[in-house]
Amino acid sequence: MVRVRRIGDVVQFTMGRIVLGQPLYLVAAYYADGLLVDTGPPAVAREFARAVAGLPLSSVILTHAHEDHAGNSPLLAARGLQPLAHPLALPLLRHPPRQYVYQRAVWGRQPPSDAAPAPAEIATPRLRLRVLHTPGHSPDHICLFEERHGWLFSGDLFLSPYVKVLRRDENPHQIIASLRRVLDLPVTTVFCASGKVVPDGRAALQRKLDFWERLRDQARDLRRLGRTPAEIRRALLGSEGAFRLVTLGHFSKQNLIDALLRDE
């Protein structure tokens, strides 16, 4: 499934594999003034190719190399468009890491692709977007900021203010630093890879930063009192949900607590 909607001068492509009439997980790509931000998961390759077929594309940029964001890059390469990405993403795109079973089921098998290093700024006829390295969700993660409009294309930096699960390979201390970095900018609207478009984006980013800093401090206080990481997770976040079971622990509340307790 690929659902297309226009939000002012931005076009959003919300994508997901449908099972029993429901999308398993939604992820969004965005288009503005010739620039495509992310290419979506390979599970919807044919639908996505049809959705972007009539767009006057001049450039493509990937927020990071994960399969739900970069999985359809070969489709754009076939149109003569080599995606841009952070230099750390390039080897991951050429040689995609082994996927978990749930990743292949939800997003499809990621094909190898090539990309070029993203510059510090991307200019289109009407937009000027700053490329910001915002690691944490992944080492190669970037956001794009258009100052005149206050737009932040945030990839997976935001997702929601109260995220309580973490991938095993994420670094929440880097995410906190990246949130502080984008909060130094005059952000208005956040275009999130979850499909959320947040008009009061600055306040939403601040809520997430405040939530994770408070959670980190509470976890450390409980550790000083001699509580174990599992006890801290139960006290602050409750029992594990379905995410941990479905992903075989790749996503879990315990991952978040354990990572917050590690040194920055």
For residue 151, give both structure tokens.
């737009």
| pTM, to two decimals | 0.95
The residue behind tokens 């070029």 is 116
Res 19 pLDDT > 90: no
Q: For residue 117, what pLDDT is reported?
A: 98
Strands, E, within the chain: which ranges? 2-7, 10-15, 18-19, 22-23, 27-32, 35-37, 59-61, 84-85, 116-117, 121-123, 128-133, 142-146, 151-155, 166-167, 189-192, 197-198, 251-252
Determine the average pLDDT of the residues in 37-41. Answer: 97
Give the HSE-up count for residue 159: Cα atoms under 13 Å, Cβ half-sphere.
Answer: 12
CA-CA-CA-CA torsion sign (45, 51, 53, 58): negative
The pLDDT tens digits for 166-198 are 999 999 999 999 999 999 999 999 999 999 999
Res 147 pLDDT > 90: yes
Determine the average pLDDT of the residues in 228-254. Answer: 95
The pLDDT tens digits for 201-211 are 999 999 999 99
Res 120 pLDDT > 90: yes
Give CA separation, 183 vs 30, 148, 249, in Å. Answer: 21, 16, 31
Give the HSE-up count for residue 91: Cα atoms under 13 Å, Cβ half-sphere.
Answer: 2
